[in-house]
Structure 1
């Protein structure tokens, strides 16, 4: 029988004008009711499944159109759809899993009109004004709690850092934390291997990646987390990473005072590569953690902490290959950069988000372009 979280459909919606048919309404209705599943390829009578039928072919372009409709035809977008193909030709079925959402109410627009659909047992109804008001209140309250949790995670990671030299602090927290069994200790090494796959996809390996300083093959237990400690190399760099049992991830790494041929940078002097590759490695860690736990939407925050008597200065390479800080803006305080990202995606599809987040983080220092991070067209600035 159809229920609040289960809907039978005979055929896949056609790809043409997908945003104008019932698919966005069905997805929004499920999201507004706490998530659910739409199954294509089932005939029903009186809301009860009677027999299998062929749902039709779902190619890659059609699947992308489904995801696009959920993103563009619904406000706010419904992200993180999981789509599964089942059966052979003549008996094909498609399952679309809609996640629970904290961004309700999700609205559907038809020209100048809009409404918020919602599942009510086996039917789709329109939310009344009072229901919409309650949904908005729930969204704002959930956002407040999420912001507080992210700030708490960031403050915890930053505690005790910044007195000796500048540190890069980055944290990621899932919008819907994992509540099942945590990652086993022996699986942390597998997660590290995925990071090693992701980071080179988005950046160059011509300079040292902070994550390479972590020992993911000898993780230590922490407070509801696994901690990959710094390996203690003698190059004046230090990095610690952690994967939390709820799906959160943190990376703390030295940004100032790195060693170079002519001697060490001062504690307040930062190479631009430390910021760029810090962002890349952090998002690779978050992406790998999300993949391992099967999570999608994450709130992320990245910042630089420094409490010394000199302003932060960021050094980059000029047109002739010399290090210089003349293009950067001295900063007495670096404002943490926040974003909400969908991590349930491919390495290639996530590349634009990685690049844009890195640009935002570097722009605050006065620098315009990226040198070490791969742009979406796979060229380098």
Structure 2
């Protein structure tokens, strides 16, 4: 099914001559059975098949439907000792791919990856354009689904519900000890754009402009976030330099960005996303990422000056478990702050650490 563009497998159906003729009870299907099924899709198939959607149907005559998502990682192979094969669905039968079919699927996989990389780069350039990066550093984060959503135009209320859903998700990854860009956008008055909805900056006052932020959700499932992270306010009338970026601010941006991805994925049944997070700064001073000392005050004693921030790229599964997705978000933020010589995160915690603190 994964090698054939996805499909559905239904257990609990009798058939004759490839035609469904009735129902049959499959027996009990527990969470243990479901875990074993998902495990087989991951451990017995290479590359693994993620994102199975399993539904239990009926009570008297019980059935199970397994929705297999379309995959861009074909061909998916089955190994037996030193031998392998690539099965493909042909109507109601399963056949084995010939060498030329395998070759064509590998070529399609590599072409897709190149297109996804180009699409991600274009999104990043667009999100970064027009920012005053000579005055202050900007964090730019973009995500593009490996398999885009069916292009449809959600209305303003549907798009707004995604932004509303994202805020509590972000706070499940992080605390409020930093500036969250989702709190500085107007998610109640979204504006239409080219196949997207834009949440414009709401920090427009003279004393609020230091925390400017913009976010977009595209009709194909792509997500962009741009937030000013340099020159943040230190006190009532004191500000950091435009080249100075708090690590806590980066963590908050990554948490909010990831929460938007999770919320978009939930509403569009998306799974794998290619993401890129970067910091744009074009001033004369080297970029500096700041941590905090034991009293919670900004501290620059361990920062490594950066002439250029290397954008962080990753692939995350937005349809995975909460813990797995949270861990991926944590590692994304960690990669970003580590570039500036900072070891520890102060706003986000690893899922395991959070779980142990709640026990």
Question: What TM-score do you get using the length of structure 2 for normalisation?
Answer: 0.93
**4+ aligned runs moved over 4 Å, structure 1:** none
1:58 aligns with 2:29: yes
**Residue of structure 2 in register with 1:24 after alignment:** none
Aligned to 1:20: none
Shift of 1:205: 1.9
Q: CA deviation at 1:346?
A: 4.6
1:365 aligned onto 2:340:
yes
Deviation of the 1:304 alpha carbon: 0.5
Match of 1:325 in 2: 300
The SS at the match of 1:377 is helix
Q: Secondary structure at the match of 1:155?
A: helix
- Aligned equivalents of 2:322, 2:165: Cα separation in 1: 10
The equivalences for 1:73-84 within 5 A come to 73-84=44-55
1:163 equivalent to 2:134? Answer yes
Quick check: 1:313–1:328 contact (8 Å CA) kept in 2? yes
Shift of 1:378: 4.0
Q: Which of the residues 62, 74, 77 maps onto 1:92?
A: 62
3-state SS, counterpart of residue 344 of structure 1: coil
Q: Secondary structure at the match of 1:139?
A: helix
Post-superposition Cα deviations, 1:212-264, rounded to whole Å, max 9, x if no partner, equal 10110000111111100111253311010011111111100011000112710
Does the alignment pair 1:241 with 2:215? Answer: yes
What are the within-5 Å matches in structure 2 for residues 296-315 of structure 1?
296-315=271-290
Q: TM-score when scaled to structure 1? A: 0.88
* Cα deviation digits, residues 171-215 of structure 1 (max 9, x gap): 111112122422210223321221122011111123331211011
Q: Aligned partners of 2:160, 2:283: CA distance in 1, in Å?
A: 36
- The answer on 1:274 being equivalent to 2:245 is no
**1:375 and 2:350 are equivalent in the alignment:** yes
Q: Hey, what's the Cα distance between the residues in 2 that align with 1:116 and 1:175?
A: 22
Q: CA deviation at 1:320?
A: 4.2
CA-based RMSD: 1.7
The answer for unaligned runs of 5 or more in structure 2 is: none
Cα distance in 1 for partners of 2:113, 2:179 equals: 36
Any conservation in 1 of the 2:289–2:337 contact (CA below 8 Å)? no
Matched length: 351
TM alignment of 1:1-381, pairs within 5 A: 30-88=1-59, 90-161=60-131, 162-231=133-202, 232-233=204-205, 234-235=207-208, 236-261=210-235, 263-379=238-354
SS at match of 1:147: helix
Q: How far apart, in 2, do the equivalents of 1:364 and 1:45 lie?
A: 62
What is the distance in 1 between the residues matched to 2:340 and 2:40? 37
